[in-house]
Homo-oligomer: A and B are copies of this chain.
Amino acid sequence: MGLKRLSILGVGLLGGSIGLAVRKLLNDCTVVGYGHRPATLNEALALGAIQEASPSAAKAVNAADFVILCTPVGIFDEVLEQIAPVLVPGAIVTDVGSTKRSVVAAAERLLPPGVWFVGSHPMAGSEKRGVHYAEASLFEGAVCITTPTAHTNPAALETVENFWKLLGMQLVRLSPAEHDRRLADVSHLPHALAAALVSLQEEASLPLAGKGFLDSTRIAAGDGGLWRDIFVDNRDNLRDSLRRFRLQLDRLDALLAATDTEAVKSWLEAAAARRQTLNP
């Protein structure tokens, strides 16, 4: 890859896992981490996820040729403003944010000429949180979406995509708008449903929760602040996903009201057949 100095801004589960993977795969690259909590930086150093730690984002990107934003999406603007004046010419900046329209627009607005931004969304992670759970293998086999625009430098795009490939990811390119629209359906809506399903339950029903309930609500245990950022940032798309989801429920409700046994079966069988085509 030729990377000499990688700066990871935010060393949580994703940032820490990137650090561990790079330490394993790229011998000649120095990994620098930024985090606002000293305890997190110390843990990242102790785990070998980073080699140098900085309590300042600006200092952490000093002389870095590759920078990855791994903080919550809600503070991306702030971090971009801090690093913009100190990035070296030719530096490539990417991110791991779960929404892309606002992130890409902010990066293209705030970063100086000669610094190349490419939006990324590596779809790895879990409901767990923090560098403590970081693993070098976190990204293997998972999908990473890049979101180039008319302003994206083709060489930088290639470098960023090669980076994620090196970590074992399968690359998909989407526009920021298409990313946000599709992710509302396959990621943000499922989280909203899981949280609503947990919220709905009476206390006395929780001991009756079986494997099906646990599987279908696992994501609801994820960090509230992080998901708040995603929901609010992508609220137009998420509201449209919710609207279309309610149409699905209305349809099922109408079939149940009519005791249309055959149509209920067809509806369930179509969903089952489709789900069976995906990974277990």
Residues of A participating in the B interface, judged by any CB pair closer than 8 Å = 123-126, 142-143, 145, 172, 182-183, 185-187, 189-202, 204-225, 227-228, 231-232, 235, 238-239, 241-246, 248-249, 252-253, 256-257, 259, 261, 264-272, 274-280
Contact = CB atoms under 8 A, between A and B. Distances in A.
Given A182-B202, A218-B215, A189 B197 contact: yes
Given A185-B205, A257-B239, A249 B194 contact: no
A216 B259 CA distance: 27
Contact of A275 (B220, B241, B248, B280): B220
Number of copies: 2
A268 B200 contact: no
Contact of A197 (B221, B245, B256): B245
Given A199-B248, A210-B123, A225-B265, A216 B193 contact: yes
A93 to B, nearest CB: 23
A183 B208 contact: yes
19 contacts: A142-B210, A186-B210, A192-B249, A193-B197, A195-B268, A195-B271, A196-B271, A201-B274, A220-B271, A220-B272, A224-B265, A225-B265, A228-B265, A228-B268, A231-B256, A232-B264, A239-B253, A242-B252, A243-B253
Nearest to A222: B272
A154 to B, nearest CB: 23
A208 B195 contact: no
A272 B218 CA distance: 9
For A187, A190, A239, A245, which residue has the most chain B Cβ atoms within 10 angstroms? A190
B272 A223 contact: yes
A245 to B, nearest CB: 6
A266 B126 CA distance: 20
A144 to B, nearest CB: 10
Contact of A252 (B186, B192, B208, B270): B192
A123 B199 contact: no
B208 A190 contact: no
Nearest to A245: B200
Contact of A186 (B142, B209, B221): B209
B268 A256 contact: no
Contacts of A126: 211
